[in-house]
Amino acid sequence: MFIEQPPQIVRVLYPRAIWRMSPNEKAVYLTFDDGPIPEVTPWVLDLLDTYHIKATFFMVGDNVRKFPETYQMVVDRGHRIGNHTFNHIRGFEYLSNNYLANTDKANELLQTDLFRPPHGHMRLEQYYVLRNKYKIVMWDVVTRDYSKRLNGRQVLRIVKKYVRNGSVITFHDSLKSEKNLKYALPRSIEWMLEQGYEFKLL
């Protein structure tokens, strides 16, 4: 549970970050990290179109640089864009100036007011600077679709176990998530619709 749904003790580390939206509204918020890539992102977009769902894509700047057409597809279909650094780097492993410069480099391409730190890692100094530039979006449920230790059925079970009112749900439009994502995402959407959840955009 510590990974799939961060406990309150973790959430207080970044008190102005968005972890969960209103618990009083039967709505959920889909997000996707680590794209865009042409092998997976267009499939996600087509699936979301099928259900008339809008989502937020936290993009790696270098992927945007390499795949501008895929990036533009996300924008053209009306989804929100968030910054996920230029090189998908962990804040704890970098000096703050270098980490912030990497984030700024990504935003030259993305031009967004949303930020999600890769792996959820930020030094406090990084957090205090970034929160003045961005709405920092964390998550209420991370599906772990990227894990080689899990299969698609297990990812789906995580969704069913932890999703609740206001959940910000994290999937990944990446190669390492592709197999689990293609099994779990459509089934997760169907299950959440059956439970009466509305899909909203951050």
Q: Which residues are catalytic?
A: 33, 172
* Distance spanning both ends of the chain, measured CA to CA: 24
DSSP class of 57: E
In terms of C-beta density within 10 A (0-12 exposed, 13-18 middle, 19 or more buried), how is residue 87 classed? middle
CA distances for 89 relative to 32, 37, 109, 118, angstroms: 17, 18, 17, 6
Task: Please count the other Cβ atoms lying within 10 Å of the Cβ belonging to residue 108.
Answer: 11
Chain-centre distance for alpha carbon 155: 15
Tracing tokens 């230790």 back to the chain, one arrives at 149
Distances (CA, A) of 82 to 14, 72, 163, 166: 18, 14, 22, 19
Largest CA distance in the chain: 46
- Token match 């206001």: residue? 166
36: preceding bond cis by omega (within 30 degrees): yes
